[in-house]
Amino acid sequence: MDQGFRSDLIVEDRVLVEIKSVGAIAPVHFKQVLTYLKLTGLKLGLLINFNEALIKDGISRVVNNL
């Protein structure tokens, strides 16, 4: 693709990982991951925010139903 698509990480051609470090995950971040999933044809994405006291609180799952 020639346009600005750049995922942070794709694991085993199955899971797209988008990494953030923001005060709070906004709805636009979920939409961004869903768009990336649709463009790649992948079904599962993880949105990880490292700006959390506990990393488990910063992990969100995003699913593309295709």
SS (H, E, C) 10-65: EECCCEEEEEECCCCCCHHHHHHHHHHHHHHCCCEEEEEECCCCCHHHHEEEEECC
Per-residue confidence (pLDDT) for residue 66, from 0 to 100: 66
- How many domains is the chain built from? 1
Residue 22 lies in a domain: yes
Q: What pTM, to 2 d.p., does this model score? A: 0.87
Confirm whether 56 is domain-assigned. yes
pLDDT of residue 1: 47
Residues 19-46 have pLDDT tens digits of 999 999 999 999 999 999 999 999 999 9
pLDDT of residue 51: 96
The number of angstroms, rounded, from the C-alpha of 12 to the middle of its chain's C-alpha atoms is 15
Structure tokens at 30: 């979920």
The whole-number pLDDT of residue 6 equals 82
Domain that holds residue 27: 9-63
* DSSP character at residue 12: T
Which residue type occupies 3?
A: Q
